[in-house]
Amino acid sequence: MCGIVGLQNNKEVVSNIYDSLLIMQHRGQDAAGIVTYSDKFNIKKSEGLVRDAFSQEDFNLLKGNIGIGHVRYPTLGGMGIENAQPFISTTPYGISFAFNGNIINFNSLKEKLEQDSRRIIISTSDAELLLTLLSEEMENKPSFSPDFLFEAVEGLFEKVKGSYSVVALIKDKGILAFRDPYGIKPLIFGKKDDSFCVVSESVVLDTLGYKIERDVHPGEAVFFSTEGELYTKKIAEEKHCPCIFEYVYFARPDSVIDGISVYAARLNLGKNLAKEIKKNGINVDIVVPVPDTSRPVAISLAEELNVKYREGLMKNRYVGRTFIMPHQSKREELIRIKLSPVKEIIKGKRVLLVDDSIVRGTTSKKIVQLIRDAGAKEVHFASSSPPLKYPCYYGIDMQTKGEFIACKRSVENVRDMIGADSLTYQTVEGLIEAVSINGVNNFCAACFTGEYPIQAEEEEVRRIEASRGCKN
Task: Please say if 470 is a catalytic residue.
Answer: no
CA angle 374, 375, 378 (to 5 degrees): 115
Q: Indicate if the alpha-carbon torsion angle 255, 260, 264, 266 is positive or negative.
A: negative
State how far the Cα of 358 lies from the Cα of 347, in Å rounded to an integer. Answer: 25
Walk across the sheet containing 286-289 and list its strands.
Answer: 308-309, 286-289, 350-355, 378-383, 422-425
Q: How many CB atoms lie within 10 A of CB 239?
A: 10
Q: Are strands 378-383 and 422-425 parallel, antiparallel or unpaired?
A: parallel
Q: Are strands 31-37 and 87-89 parallel, antiparallel or unpaired?
A: unpaired
State how far the Cα of 207 lies from the Cα of 205, in Å rounded to an integer. Answer: 6
State how far the Cα of 241 lies from the Cα of 153, in Å rounded to an integer. Answer: 20
Return the H-helix or E-strand segment holding 88.
Answer: strand 87-89
Of 226, 215, 191, 222, nearest in space to 65 by CA:
226
Q: Which of 2, 197, 241, 444 is catalytic?
A: 2
Query: Could you tell me if 334 and 322 are in contact, meaning their C-beta atoms sit under 8 angstroms apart?
Result: yes
State how far the Cα of 418 lies from the Cα of 320, in Å rounded to an integer. Answer: 23
Angle between helices 362-373 and 328-338 (to 10 degrees): 20
State how far the Cα of 220 lies from the Cα of 149, in Å rounded to an integer. Answer: 12
122 exposed, middle or buried (CB, 10 Å; 0-12, 13-18, 19+)? exposed
Question: What residues are annotated to the active site?
Answer: 2
